[in-house]
Structure 1
Amino acid sequence: MRDKRGERRDRQPGQRLRDVPRTVWLLAAGQFFNMVVTFTFVYFFVYLTDERDLSVARAGLISGIGGIGMVAGNFTGGWFGDRYGHRRVLLVGSLAAGAGVLALPVLPVALLYVVPALSQYAGGCARAANSALVAVAVPTGGRRHAFAVTRFAANAGFTVGPPLGALLIAHVSYDWLFVVDGLGTLVFAAYARQILPAHGAARAKQAEPGPGVLAALRQRPTVLVLLGAILVTDLVYRQQYSTLPVDLARHGLDTGVYGWLLAINGGVILLLELPATLALRGRAPLRIIGAGLLLVGAGYAVLALGVGVATAVAMMLLLTAGEILYKTPATAYVADHAPAHVQGRFQSLYSGVSVSGVVLSAPLGGALYTVAPGLLWPLCAVLAGVAGCVVLAAGRGRTRPASVPVPVPVAVGGTTAGPDPETGSPARGTSG
């Protein structure tokens, strides 16, 4: 490629989908399958109240404990990966999660307070390990596209999964829902074991080059700013799964309208996220992320004008556009700024804050809605808007990764891969 003066200008590595390593495509394919069969959590609350005949309060407590386990797994999975290998954490986490789901139909009620939480903790660890594996397989500058591919696969799988789960419940039983989910997760673990080569490189714990994770974060203030902004935004973003359907019903809009809103969200993401990532590949990431957070705030600001079909659709379109802009670039930004020896822990921090709303959004949003329902949407708009402005302000300073080594892709079994997926360190056979 040549610029306007006729001088050659090389494209940065990884700025096209064809540059995404084969290992990432294979991981994405496995993630699609895994999300197709991972439908237990969608119907778990209904299962507890209908099949197990538990009260709403007890079912809510069990589900809440499970959510805490999932968030905790996202926060800690990267630490295990840096210490013992991301591949190993992905495999062990998937095996434990699948076994826990398989056991659900035969568990006594007392163990429902424990086993689902442990299973979701294992699943959260596997999610963090999956992100770290993508990060270490792709050189700096190409991760935005790689994460977009894996997000597309996960969203596509989740679009297919819940309707299949509903069919299983309607025509077979809840028990088969857990059997298919658990066995599918175990199949994914076996698949991941085959596609991710184990090089047996030295463990990161034997010699940690560079500062610890806290010192590394202090050296990268923009990453800290981004993590804080994502934490606030996820609390706001996930109101669509808790207080939004309640408020829609309060204004006379039934569950059918809510279902169509979720369908709009999934459909637009599947259609536009990959093209948007390609179109914006040359743009500064913090500006894209900040704009996305502002769009999330704008979506809730529309609801503050009044709740109806038109405003609800406009809200969901703005929220979806914001999600498309901020989620993939934010994941890639954290990965690009992570020192190699703490890549997993950086990914865990991002994974944890990006799902924190699973635990925090419903109780906090519900409490505010109970006291002052008219205040919820304006406050959500302000919080997301402030988070977006803070990220945009941080983006005016230095945005390029500081002292982050660029991994050199190497051939692994005929594929292009980055560092050792077992440890995150350079794979054996890497030259120079």
Structure 2
Amino acid sequence: MQGFKEVPRAVWMLSPGVFVNAVSSFTFVFVFVYLTGPRGLSVTEAGLVTGVGGIGLIAGNFTGGGYGDRYGHRRVLLIASFLAGGGLVLLPTLPTGALLAVLPLAQYALGAIRSANAALVAVIVPEGARRQAFAVVRCVSNGGFTLGPPLGALIATGLSYDWLFVADGIGTLFFALWTARVVPARSADRTPAAAPDGGLGRGAWGELRARPGVLVLLGAILVVDVIYRQQYSTFPVYLADHGLDTGAYGLIIALNGAVILVLELPAAVALRARPPLRVVGTGLLLVGAGYGALLLGTGIAAAVAMMVLLSLGEILYKTPATAYVADQAPPHAIGFYQSLYAGVSASGVVLGPPLGGALYSAAPGLLWPLCVVLAAGAGGAVLWAHARQRRHEARPAHETGSQPQAVAG
């Protein structure tokens, strides 16, 4: 495929495993129903368990890549996959007390898989081809997530909720075995370069402060992810309050997956030479415009417009942002940077529902205008960081503090 020739074979080979893992990752949709149904927990107890599990998921995202910098990204990905897969397979057989401990641990391992996988892709793909590589991985992952929930519903109703966890665990274990087979250890688990101060954490944090563009991007993504996740929490409530049923919501959410599947790869090729922060900033503005569409009406047309704009914004910001963070990372801290990005880009899973729900309950008319303002501010901040970076690059070396490199010979 034209535009993807630079994507290494290992990424293409990894993609079927990512797809299968994504298809089988449906337990997060049904876990609350499982806890309050077959397990007999109260709504409060189930909320506590899922909340702790969500925190574990975010913690895994924030740490998985950093472990890979020390021990090898492929190795960490395999260990986390075996732990998560084994825990999910065993989970239906555990007594409730043990389940309350194992489920958050499995969630932590699942979070570590996400950041370790991103770091692994960043390591095996050369700079300049990472946008296309991450687009490939995101495309197959979104395809799997589109198929997963309806398949999970069939398993839950045709067999039992216990089989959901077994199937999810088997899919995760398959991903581990597939990765071990198709990604060579010699290239993925090479010893990371040493940090300048001999310690990964201190050196990486110091270098991060010297990369203001990355810091601005991470802050903007944190804000926008809370906004983005409203489509899974307050948005369906808003639709129901305005006469649109669950079926309409399902079709609108399916539109998100369809737009991404059709446009993700072409967009990655068409925009691969564009400055990443400019593309990301534009994407964040489109997310805000999506929620702004809800201010124009309460019918199906406004909801569809919202989802199309949100999907276009997601295409523009998620893949280029992931690649930008990888390109900015020093060689000894690629995983650390990917963990930071993975963590902030999933924080809305925990923060979005309670914050959005509280505001919608107290002042429903303020939620969407606030989403527009916050997304516009985040997008503007990233575009400002892009302009600042361009001005810095255009200044002479003696003004920026850079020293000319000696020329050999």
Normalised by the length of structure 2, the TM-score is: 0.91
For residues 4-153 of structure 1, what are the structure 2 equivalents within 5 Å?
Answer: 16-153=3-140
Paired letter, 2:107: Q
Tell me which of 296, 305, 310 is aligned to 1:319. 310
Which deviates further from its counterpart, 111-120 or 69-78? Answer: 111-120
Paired letter, 1:230: I
Paired letter, 2:30: Y
Query: Identity percentage over the alignment?
Result: 63
Looking at structure 1, the residues matched to 307 and 4 of structure 2 have their Cα atoms a distance apart, in angstroms, of 28
Looking at structure 2, the residues matched to 98 and 268 of structure 1 have their Cα atoms a distance apart, in angstroms, of 31
* Unaligned ranges ≥5, structure 1: 1-13, 403-432
Match for residue 380 of structure 1?
371
Query: What does the per-residue CA deviation read over 1:171-208, in whole Å, with 9 as the maximum and x for residues that have no partner?
Result: 11112222111112112111111112222976448x43
Query: What does the per-residue CA deviation read over 1:217-239, in whole Å, with 9 as the maximum and x for residues that have no partner?
Result: 11110000000000000000001
Looking at structure 2, the residues matched to 357 and 401 of structure 1 have their Cα atoms a distance apart, in angstroms, of 32
Tell me which of 299, 318, 339 is aligned to 1:348. 339
Check the 8 A contact 2:68/2:76 in 1, yes or no.
yes
Paired letter, 1:195: V
For residues 29-428 of structure 1, what are the structure 2 equivalents within 5 Å?
Answer: 29-199=16-186, 203-204=191-192, 207-209=194-196, 212-398=203-389
Structure 1 residue 108: Cα displacement: 2.1
Distance change in 2, residues 1:202/1:50 (3 Å): closer
Paired letter, 2:339: S
Structure 1 residue 378: Cα displacement: 0.5
SS at match of 1:363: helix
Structure 1 residue 306: Cα displacement: 3.3
* Unaligned ranges ≥5, structure 2: 394-409
Structure 1 residue 112: Cα displacement: 3.0
Looking at structure 1, the residues matched to 2 and 361 of structure 2 have their Cα atoms a distance apart, in angstroms, of 47
Paired letter, 1:283: R
**TM superposition outliers: structure 1 runs of 4+ over 4 Å:** 399-402
Structure 1 residue 333: Cα displacement: 0.4
Select the structure that is richer in helix. 2
Normalised by the length of structure 1, the TM-score is: 0.86
Distance change in 2, residues 1:239/1:382 (3 Å): same
Check the 8 A contact 1:336/1:401 in 2, yes or no.
no
Paired letter, 1:33: V
Looking at structure 1, the residues matched to 390 and 88 of structure 2 have their Cα atoms a distance apart, in angstroms, of 42
Check the 8 A contact 1:286/1:399 in 2, yes or no.
no
Distance change in 2, residues 1:388/1:202 (3 Å): closer
Looking at structure 2, the residues matched to 271 and 251 of structure 1 have their Cα atoms a distance apart, in angstroms, of 30
SS at match of 2:185: coil
Check the 8 A contact 1:65/1:113 in 2, yes or no.
no
SS at match of 2:320: helix
Check the 8 A contact 2:192/2:331 in 1, yes or no.
no
Paired letter, 2:81: S
Query: What does the per-residue CA deviation read over 1:138-172, in whole Å, with 9 as the maximum and x for residues that have no partner?
Result: 11111000000000010011111111111111211
SS at match of 2:389: coil
Paired letter, 1:26: M
| Aligned Cα root-mean-square deviation (Å) | 1.9
Which deviates further from its counterpart, 58-67 or 15-24? Answer: 15-24
Looking at structure 1, the residues matched to 243 and 272 of structure 2 have their Cα atoms a distance apart, in angstroms, of 42
SS at match of 2:266: helix
Match for residue 403 of structure 2?
none
Match for residue 401 of structure 2?
none
Structure 1 residue 259: Cα displacement: 0.3
Looking at structure 2, the residues matched to 300 and 241 of structure 1 have their Cα atoms a distance apart, in angstroms, of 13
Check the 8 A contact 2:17/2:174 in 1, yes or no.
no
Which deviates further from its counterpart, 338-347 or 306-315? Answer: 306-315
Looking at structure 1, the residues matched to 390 and 259 of structure 2 have their Cα atoms a distance apart, in angstroms, of 29
